[in-house]
Structure 1
Amino acid sequence: MTPRSFVFLDPDGTSAGGWLYAVVEAATGVVYQQQYGGTACRHGQVEGFLVPLFARAELDALRELFEKRFRGSGTWNHTWPDAERDRLRGIVGSIRYWVSDGTTDEPHPLRLDESRIREADEAWIPVITPMGPAVLMWHNSD
């Protein structure tokens, strides 16, 4: 068994907050940890590889949804009404995940992983990438 390494994203909460990552689930031996859920201060971890994403407008929209609509208090096990789920699905679907075959690069939209919607919370959204299941993460607001 390969020893595991743990990487806590923004461990002291002092980052500038402009980052957005997908951690694609894979047996890499590297486990990313994240505080999420706004003031609920939940802690999650996922093994895989980290992919930086560049989606400023979508990051702003996610922060608007979770920090203003949900007041930064987390949504763990939230029952998502259709309008809120549609909004989250639309934001996630606007984020591009670039895939390269070594010669060409192609953008693909992320998809909200609706089979894991009950896990969705501020700074922790289950998504599907072209490379498989992942967790979308950003700077937690608390």
Structure 2
Amino acid sequence: MPMGQPKIALWYGIGLGAIVSLPTGVLYSNQTGGTSCLHPELEGAYVPLDADAGEELYAYFAGPKHQGTGATSGLDDEDAAFIEMVLAKHGLSGFISLDRSRLRASHEAWVWATVTGDRGDHETALFRGLGPYPREAVLTWDNTD
């Protein structure tokens, strides 16, 4: 029996990470969309970013506005502003930004973004060798289901 394309499930991942779109031959998937329990996937390379940022995003989508429903009809400007605030707070906004043209295609724990490069002042480059930039990516974290 032929093997299919390798797929790595991120359901037990910790914190915020980015799946950087690259022709690696490896698919990454996460359970997303709150109680809708969606399983989107993207071929690329997974880069862990920040555990605390993931907790803040989890709390936001579990909170009063979305109540764990997953925002499966897309994100709005308020959601995007919150995510951007979290990225900035954790020092991530200098090299990764939301793709606001794809907010309607984004939902809880699966947010389209753009990697604009790596932090030049960081001892350990998070995205070393993944250029050329900009590069499409998805931000993902623990789902609120």
Band the TM-score falls in, shorter-chain normalisation: 0.7 to 0.9
Inter-CA distance 95–6: structure 2 relative to 1 (3 Å threshold): same
Question: Secondary structure of the equivalent of 2:107?
Answer: coil
Shift of the alpha carbon at 1:121? Answer: 1.4
In structure 2, what is the Cα distance between the partners aligned to 1:27 and 1:122? Answer: 25
Structure 2 spans left out of the alignment, 5+ residues: 118-132
Q: Does 1:41 align with 2:41?
A: no
Q: Does 1:92 align with 2:87?
A: yes
Conserved? CA contact 1:111–1:128, under 8 Å: yes
TM-score (structure 2 length as normaliser): 0.73
Shift of the alpha carbon at 1:34? Answer: 1.3
Shift of the alpha carbon at 1:112? Answer: 0.8
* Match of residue 109 from structure 2: 123
Quote the sequence identity (%): 32
Say what the alpha-carbon RMSD is for the aligned residues: 2.2
Conserved? CA contact 1:26–1:49, under 8 Å: yes
Question: Secondary structure of the equivalent of 2:69?
Answer: coil
Conserved? CA contact 1:94–1:109, under 8 Å: no
AA in 1 matched with 2:140: M
Inter-CA distance 44–95: structure 2 relative to 1 (3 Å threshold): farther
Inter-CA distance 93–109: structure 2 relative to 1 (3 Å threshold): farther
Deviations 1:71-125 (A, max 9, x none): 0101122361x4343223322344445xxxxxxxxx9342111111112211111
In structure 2, what is the Cα distance between the partners aligned to 1:36 and 1:83? Answer: 19
Which of the numbers 50, 62, 70 marks the counterpart of 1:74?
70
Structure 1 spans left out of the alignment, 5+ residues: 98-106
In structure 2, what is the Cα distance between the partners aligned to 1:27 and 1:96? Answer: 28
AA in 2 matched with 1:112: L
Conserved? CA contact 2:75–2:107, under 8 Å: no
Does 88-97 or 113-122 show the bigger shift?
A: 88-97
Conserved? CA contact 2:58–2:141, under 8 Å: no
Aligned residues between the structures: 124
